[in-house]
Amino acid sequence: MPQRAHALIELPVLASFIIEMTRSIKANGSNASKACDVMVVGGGNAGLCAAITARELGASVVLLEQAPKHSRGGNSRHARNLRVSHAISSDYLRGVYSAEEYWDDIARVAGENTDKDLARVMIAESVDVTTWMERRGVCFQRSRDTAARSRKTAYLLGGGKALLNAYYLTAERLGVDIRYDSEVLSLGFDDGMARDATVVTDGVPAQLRAKAVVVASGGIAANIDWLRQYWGEAANHCLIRGTAYADGHILKELLDRGAAPVGDPAQCHMVAVDARAPKFDGGIVTRLDGLPFGIVVDRNGRRFHDEGENVGRERYAIWGSLVLRCPGQIAYAIFDSKVDTLFRPSLYPPIQAPTVAELAVKLTLDSRTMAATVSRFNDAVRDASNGGKNGYGRTEGITPPKTRGALLIDTPPFGGFPVRPGITFSYFGVRVDQRARVLMANDRPSANVFAAGLSMAANILGRGYLAGMGMTIGTTFGRTAGREAAQYVLQ
């Protein structure tokens, strides 16, 4: 088909293609600009919200994404939903979620580890955030069926990667200079102000001057060396559910320059994941949620925790840190065919065997200890006749007990999952004020350095977990950082 025929039919497409080509030559060629108004470090949700906002206000923006294009977006790739306060129901949210209730939820999970003023700002901003997002191409999962909608979180249609695709297209359209494979090695400070950065793009280092810097480079969850300082060798055995690029070296750079830290670098949000999952980016499908249905043993074939302690919806969340404390950071969920189907479908099928002893062999456990553990457990089960998912069964006379949902493990085939701790995100970052300015050790805000997303999320959620809140922090503080950076530059 001759090129002319294409052009006639698809002139607009061709035009945008030429613009895109020109832009990419400009970005990658020798005349890639060496200065900009706002430099955004990190191309996840928060960085994109900051870049788009700053560009819309008229600033020239360079967005530096460490990953190649196919892996862009950090942990936002794995995001699912967004927690928003709302007074009326919509196509993708039902009922009412008041600011008060939102705050109560945060206070419940984070305890003292939250800044109430920042949390209030975030909650207030969350009210109109979905409209803002939709105007920039993000799609939510709509449902005519009210019951199918969530009350507290709006689900992203297609998940976080679809959101990233939409934001990247919007940013490109607005003229944000997006540079993939671009790692910021160091930030240059002068008199407490960020002046420039050493950026390695496609392996070539260069200086990039900027009038303001937004740090949205995530947390430290993927930095095993850093975590090893606190956890020792145990850190080597954790799986990282998110991006391999969240190594926190820009956070470290800021701290070295005198930024005030927030949160605890020794703490991460962890869940139980299938030990067969990949080291990085396993995302949601590696999660094992059914541990309370059977028993959980360590590598010596012994139970170590009351499996019935938490049988609620977030039951999988407690097991990450429990398994981290197990020898070798591995544990095994053992169950029988009665509860097989109660597990949410997950990435790998359970390992199965006709007897407990054979299952133990398949799981590389000592079969005699394992058989003894199961028979001792079965002997201790009481009131299991009312059994079922959240049945009344409990144990008597064994330590630790299983206080809820104890059923006999007696119906072959028997099943098992190998379990490892999977790190979702870290509770560590830099302190910010309500304008997303990074606070220095003397509590004075930096004039031109801003932070958004997981780099500062510990200000609000220094402990615990609320579904969809990471995305809300990223979006609201991303917008704030972009707005404040642009206003500082353009004033």
Shortest Å, Cβ 143 to another protein:
7
Q: Which is nearer to another protein, 320 or 462 (CB)?
A: 320
Of residues 80 and 463, the one with the C-beta less far from another protein: 80
Of the listed pieces 54-62, 73-81, 301-309, 357-365, which binds another protein according to CB under 8 A? 73-81
Q: Which is nearer to another protein, 252 or 276 (CB)?
A: 276
CB 291 within 8 A of CB 316: yes
Q: How far is CA 301 from CA 252, 275, 366, 384, 411, in A?
A: 41, 16, 7, 23, 19
Please write down the long-range contacts of 137-143, taking CB distance under 8 Å and 24 or more positions apart.
137/166, 137/167, 137/169, 137/170, 138/162, 138/163, 138/166, 138/167, 139/166, 140/91, 140/92, 141/92, 142/91, 142/92, 143/91, 143/92
- Rounded distance between C-alpha atoms, residue 423 and residue 443, angstroms: 31
Among residues 78, 136, 402, 404, which is the contact residue for another protein, using CB under 8 A? 78
List 161, 209, 276, 338, residue binding another protein (CB under 8 A): 161
Q: What is the residue type of 293?
A: F
Q: Is residue 157 involved in binding another protein (CB under 8 A)?
A: yes
Give how many residues touch another protein by CB under 8 A. 38
Which residues, 162 to 201, sit near another protein by CB under 8 A? Answer: 162, 165, 168-169
Candidates 59-67, 76-84, 226-234, 316-324; binding stretch for another protein (CB under 8 A): 76-84
Taking the least distance from each CB to another protein, the nearer of 10 and 396 is 10
- When the beta carbons of 13 and 266 are compared against another protein, the nearer one is 13
Considering only residues 343-372, where is the footprint of another protein by CB under 8 A?
Answer: 344-347
- Of 30-38, 136-144, 258-266, 454-462: span binding another protein (CB under 8 A): 136-144
Which one, 88 or 147, has the nearer CB to another protein? 147
| Cβ at position 178, least distance to another protein in Å | 14
Binding test (CB under 8 A) with another protein, winner from 15, 35, 124, 148: 148
Paired strand residues for 351: 416
Question: Out of 40, 48, 67, 77, which residue is the one contacting another protein (CB under 8 A)?
Answer: 77
Shortest approach of another protein to residue 10 CB, angstroms?
Answer: 8
Among residue numbers 275 through 294, which ones bind another protein (CB under 8 A)? 278, 281, 283-285
> What track of x and - describes contact with another protein for positions 8 through 27 (by CB under 8 A)?
-xx-----------------
Q: Rank residues 145 and 191 by Cβ distance to another protein and give the closer one.
A: 145
Other beta carbons within 10 Å of 361: 13
* Side chain identity, residue 217: S
Contact 23, 172 (CB under 8 A): yes
Q: Which of 131, 341, 386, 491 binds another protein (CB under 8 A)?
A: 341
Does 158 sit near another protein (CB under 8 A)?
Answer: yes
Q: Kindly state the smallest distance separating residue 375's Cβ from another protein, in Å.
A: 30
Pairing of strands 81-83, 153-155: antiparallel
Q: How, if at all, do strands 182-190 and 193-201 pair?
A: antiparallel
CB 60, min distance to another protein, A: 24
CB of 426 to another protein, least distance (A): 20
Give least dist CB 413 to another protein, A.
14
Residues that bind another protein (CB under 8 A): 1, 6, 9-10, 70-71, 77-78, 80, 139, 141-145, 147-148, 155-162, 165, 168-169, 278, 281, 283-285, 341, 344-347
